[in-house]
Amino acid sequence: MDINRRQFLKVCAAGVSSSSLAMLGFSPQPVLAEARSFKLARTTETRNTCPYCSVGCGILMYSLGDNAKNAKAEIIHIEGDPDHPVNRGTLCPKGAGLLGFVHSENRLKYPEYRAPASNEWKRISWEEAFDRIAKLMKADRDANFVAQTADGLTVNRWLTTGMLAASASSNESGYITHKVVRTLGMLVFDNQARV
């Protein structure tokens, strides 16, 4: 039998009619030829890691689009990675629902701003957001940076602005965040390890 795993899955997914055909003695090869074309056959498979708990289950994400410049990829299915030595293809109820996280209606799409005492969000551009935040940070740092303590100790710290770093973002994100934060002199800085 000359089928790879994905084709085999397609055969299984074809449901009662094809499996009954197979039971009647038809080999998967002709069954495959008769079945309609399945969505997964046209997808790109990408390996990733579940972002929830710390087991670090391997997942396979299937997206429409073939990485061509004009094709916008859309993830349409996520399942456990059978090659992964820890989860061996399995996922828990949360991991099995990961597609719903990627496509949650509460995903944020644009930078937004809430003015003092306002009761609503206003959409702003990234340019406005970065510009305003950088200016607020600089003004606060310049006004409150402590180069030396009253008794003459050099401390070079900035305590009036703080930062919380994530719990699920990548190492690369964490590394560059730490590099920037310490360089600014921040000490009010934590990640989710404490909670």
Distance (Å, whole) CA 19 – CA 25: 10
C-beta of 19 vs 48, nearer to other proteins:
48
Q: Who's near 166: CB < 8 A, 6+ residues apart?
A: 173, 174, 191, 192
C-beta of 10 vs 84, nearer to other proteins:
84
Q: How far is the CB of 116 from other proteins (least distance, A)?
A: 4
Q: How far is the CB of 181 from other proteins (least distance, A)?
A: 8
Q: How far is the CB of 146 from other proteins (least distance, A)?
A: 9
Distance (Å, whole) CA 155 – CA 169: 30
C-beta of 32 vs 137, nearer to other proteins:
137
Q: How far is the CB of 2 from other proteins (least distance, A)?
A: 25
Q: Give the alpha-carbon dihedral of 167, 168, 173, 178, to 10 degrees.
A: 10
C-beta of 38 vs 189, nearer to other proteins:
189
Q: How far is the CB of 14 from other proteins (least distance, A)?
A: 24
C-beta of 38 vs 145, nearer to other proteins:
145
Which of 78-105 are b and which e, b meaning 16 or more Cβ less than 10 Å from the residue's Cβ?
A: bbbbeebeebeeebeeebeebeeeeeee
* Residue 185 near residue 194, CB atoms below 8 Å: no
Q: Please give the full DSSP string across 171-187, using - where no structure is assigned.
A: HHHHHHHHHHHHHTTB-
